[in-house]
Amino acid sequence: MSTTTVSPLRLTWLHLRYQFLETVRIPIAVLGSMLFPALSMAFFVVPQEQVARNPVWATMAVAGLGLFAVMSASLFTYGLGVAEDRQLPFDPYLRSLPAGPGPRMAARIGNGSIFALLGLMPLIIIAWLLTDATVTAPRLAAGVATILVASVPFVLLGMAVGYSLPAKAALPVVQVLLFPLAFAGGLFLPPTMFPAWLDAASLATPTRAARDVLVDVLTGVGAPGSAWPVLLGWTALFAALAVWAYRRDEGRRFR
Amino acid sequence: MTSDLAVHVDRVTRRFGDVVALDDVSLAVRPGELVGLLGPNGAGKSTLLSLVSGLRRPDAGTVRLLGGDPRDARSRTRLGITPQETGLPATLRVHEVVDFVAGHFPDPVRTGDLLEQFGLTEQARRQTGALSGGQKRRLAVALALVGRPRVLLLDEPTTGLDVGARQALWDAIRAYHADGGTVLLTSHYLEEVQALAQRVVVIDRGVVRADDALDTVLRRVSLRRVVLTAPDDLSAWTGVVRAERPVSHLDQARQTLLTPDADALVRDLVLAGIDFRDLEIRGASLDEAFSEMVAAR
């Protein structure tokens, strides 16, 4: 009698392909995530001459917006998307197939990265054409890789929310998490403009750590030594939360 | 011995808040059996299936699937279940859904063969959202069989299908069973259970009310339904266990009487000189039979 399952790697690839297919069959969802960061850049950064014409500041603004775009896509896709998926009748069926939580979660992370990359492209093109943001090709490649790594904790946080709450509750929770985290992490205003107490608190947030790492990779201005440990610490915590929420979840709750 | 069972539910209790969905339920299914799980809506049938497929954990008791814990993915490589037809991912094509599910199993049936067996070859490239109700139902049962399961769980497999489509699905289920497969199916239709099951388990309000051979259980639920038009209210007549009248129907004198012995009731009505017309007699539906069976306790 055979009790072997298909290898987790093959299962991850399988889920990745079909999640991708399902998403791209509704093109407007893809377009939305591609346009949002680019439009924010065009409306909020390009018109501000002293930012747009300063190579370092402009590059930092691109980093902040890019990170915000990836983070908000991650939190919404996973927080709200997972919560909505759990309410579909196909979800309990998928959970009954012989695959643990790993491949599905890994495939979701992979898909998040793919669509984040698609979303970054127009942002980078606008920054390149309309501002003085500069970056060398190797730094840009490293930056893109970094932003994908930096998105992992937010994907995991989104999944923890999505597997814990019904869709109607997940939406406000995601919004409450997203904006304070983005602001405190210096994604909208550079942390150099923060008062000392806020700057100190900011250093402990995952958003600030991700931003500092990314800005360092893009411009070489250096990141505080705490950045990587803080980022990895939050990643481990959110991963544990996501796995716990998935295990605890049994589909829709009945009362 | 217990490890030889295909499905073994042992003294399982499961609550949802204050509601006890299953109360100390035990069920043992041997390999190769075809068991019908009957009961009115909300009886606990679906909860029982969700425990066997590893979706939920019991509050008390143990559930074993082919000797393993169904919460462990490895135990589920030889399990086949049907998705609800309304839940198929609407934007994926038929062959894509089959390929996707097949990819979870070590030795799946070839997609082309499976679609041919279920008469879906022509629909292979259509999105599942464009299928008819009968086609979706066939696809759902096909998905349950793609991994060559040893245990098949079917939740209301033919609800809402026409006679021809139902017959075709029954044939597929019979063929699977004839090859040695184990089937646990729930249904509302007495006809479906009669056509397929050898053994019947009746569940109501979370408790097993009967677990016996098909014929034995059928005798216990064989209420008859006598429909007639009469000016007098006959609901209190001897032998009538329950009566219904149309709520907003034009013909208020039309009444339905449920009784274990329709012949005796009609004979009594005739002898008593009751004025009635348009007499119809047929078997009661399972839901009606169950609510009587349970209320009688």
- For A1, which residue in chain B has the nearest alpha carbon? B78
Last residue of a domain, one of B220, B240, B261: B220
Whether A162 and A79 have beta carbons less than 8 Å apart is answered as: yes
B271 in the same domain as B206 = no
Average pLDDT over residues B54-62: 91
Instruction: Tell me the pLDDT tens digit for each residue of A83-102.
Output: 888 888 888 888 889 987 78
Least Cα distance to A65 among A30, A40, A29 occurs for A40
Using one digit for the tens of pLDDT, what is the confidence trace for B65-89? 999 999 888 899 999 998 776 678 8
Instruction: Please judge whether A93 and B100 are an interchain contact, meaning their C-beta atoms are less than 8 angstroms apart.
Output: no
| Residues B43 and B90 reside in one and the same domain | yes
Q: Which domain holds residue B200?
A: 2-220
Residues B130 and B42 placed together within one structural domain of the fold: yes
Q: Are residues B216 and B228 in the same domain?
A: no
Percent of the residues in chain B that have a pLDDT greater than 90, as a whole number = 41
| A17 CB-contact burial (10 Å; exposed 0-12 / middle 13-18 / buried 19+) | middle
Q: What is the CATH number of the domain that holds B68?
A: 3.40.50.300
Q: How many CB pairs under 8 A join A and B?
A: 96
Is the Cβ pair A18, B100 closer than 8 Å? yes
DSSP code per residue over A14-68: HHHHHHHHHHHTSHHHHHHHHHHHHHHIIIIITT-HHHHT-HHHHHHHHHHHHHH
Which chain A residue lies closest to B20 (C-alpha atoms)?
A: A255
B93, B200: one domain: yes
Residues of B in contact with A250 (CB under 8 A): 50, 55-57
pLDDT-derived band at B101 (thresholds 50, 70, 90) equals very high
Q: How far is CA B55 from CA A242, A248, B72, B201, B261, in A?
A: 18, 11, 10, 21, 43
Domain boundary among B165, B185, B220: B220
Partners of B53 on chain A (C-beta within 8 Å) are 96
> Does the pLDDT value for residue B258 go beyond 50?
yes
Is residue B218's pLDDT more than 80? no
> What confidence tens digit (pLDDT) does each residue in B105-158 have?
999 999 999 999 898 999 999 999 899 888 888 899 999 999 999 999 998 888
B147 touches chain A (CB under 8 A): yes
Q: Do B68 and A98 touch (CB under 8 A)?
A: no
- The count of structural domains within chain B is 2
> What CATH number is associated with residue B274?
3.30.70
Chain B residue with CA closest to A93: the answer is B83
B229 shares its domain with B215: no
Mean pLDDT of the region A130-153 = 88
Residue B247 shares a structural domain with residue B183? no
Least Cα separation, residue B118 to chain A (angstroms): 20
Kindly identify which residue of chain B lies nearest to residue A26, measuring between CA atoms: B91
Q: Do A250 and B79 touch (CB under 8 A)?
A: no
Per the model's pLDDT, the better-predicted residue between B285 and A174 turns out to be: A174
- Suggest the residue from B22, B55, B156 to mutate for an interface test with chain A (most A CBs closer than 10 A): B55
Partner residue opposite B55 with nearest CB, options A6, A21, A251: A251
Sequence-separated (6 or more) residues with CB below 8 Å from residue B131 = B88, B94, B123, B139
Together in a domain, B7 and B71: yes
